[in-house]
Amino acid sequence: MCNLYSVTTNIQAIRDLVKGFRVNEAAIGNFPPQTAIFPDYLAPIVRNFEGERELTRVRWGMPTSSFVQFKAAKARAEKLQKKEGRVLSEEEFKTLLEMEPDRGVTNVRNVDSKHWQRWLAPQFRCVVPFTSFSEFNKDAGGDIWFAFDDSRPLAFFAGIWAPQWTSVRKVKEGMVTTDLFAFLTTEPNAEVGAIHEKAMPVILTDPDDIETWMTAPWEDARRLQRPLPDGVLQIVAKGVKEDGAQ
């Protein structure tokens, strides 16, 4: 499960791989390198947006399923009821459910789930630029960073995004409405599997594959949910929370 990555590139490098997009200048600014992107951070994506293609920054972590949120709220309600010695009213539980914190889902694997199917059409697809990503393995040294080589060339995760989702991301922040994104995972190749045997991000390196992901019907786009061939990734750093190599 990839919950940490970096992107240290420039807009022109993204243009070289992704066909025509406009830059949301207010969101992107001068596009500084991000050597450690964690869940719930704002991170760059190229998305299909209002009939155009846009490079912008979006919050990392898609909505959690309503079933999971309901279970969490129910458990919280049971604790409150036990503490207060009374049953919560329907209205009280509704408020509790609305305010249940949702930290977000960073990686999407089961695209057959009804929860994800609403965001699989082209208008909700995006690509997420990265130059390295980390999988955690305590025995192997902590955070293990993967890239194509020591120069950290640009590639993209295949992602989806949700517009203007209202939820409580952090208790101290309260209810917010914001765009969200996550990227797909698949079974790992040999290099990643040696560190994290369950999954690796879906990575796109070819401009044609990127275009397919951004535009094709789902039955064609879903074929890209596959691991990279063995031997194309290598470990470029170990045991650090940021990968700052340029």
* DSSP 8-state symbol, 238: E
Model confidence band, residue 245 (pLDDT cutoffs 50, 70, 90): low
**Residue type for position 91:** E
For residue 97, what are the contacts with CB-CB under 8 A and spacing of at least 6?
69, 70, 73
Give the least confident one: 75-89, 108-122, 230-244: 75-89
The size of the chain, in residues, is 246
Distances (CA, A) of 80 to 69, 93, 128, 168, 234: 17, 10, 41, 19, 49
Residue 53's pLDDT is: 96
In CATH, what number is assigned to the domain containing residue 202?
A: 3.90.1680.20
Task: State whether 142 and 216 are in the same domain.
Answer: yes
Task: State whether 33 and 116 are in the same domain.
Answer: yes
The answer as to whether 243 is a domain residue is no
- Kindly report, residue by residue over 158-193, the tens digit of the pLDDT: 999 999 999 888 888 888 999 999 999 999 999 999
The answer as to whether 133 is a domain residue is yes
92 has a pLDDT exceeding 90: no
* Average pLDDT score, the chain: 92
Please state the rounded mean pLDDT for residues 27-54: 95
Task: State whether 83 and 156 are in the same domain.
Answer: no
Task: State whether 76 and 137 are in the same domain.
Answer: no
Task: State whether 185 and 169 are in the same domain.
Answer: yes
Per-residue DSSP letters for 89-109? PHHHHHHHHHT-B---B-EE-
Model confidence band, residue 69 (pLDDT cutoffs 50, 70, 90): low
pTM for the model stands at 0.91
Parent domain of 16 = 5-64+106-238
236 has a pLDDT exceeding 60: yes
User: How many domains are contained in the chain?
Assistant: 2
- Strand 22-23 and strand 52-60: pairing? parallel
Residue 96's pLDDT is: 63
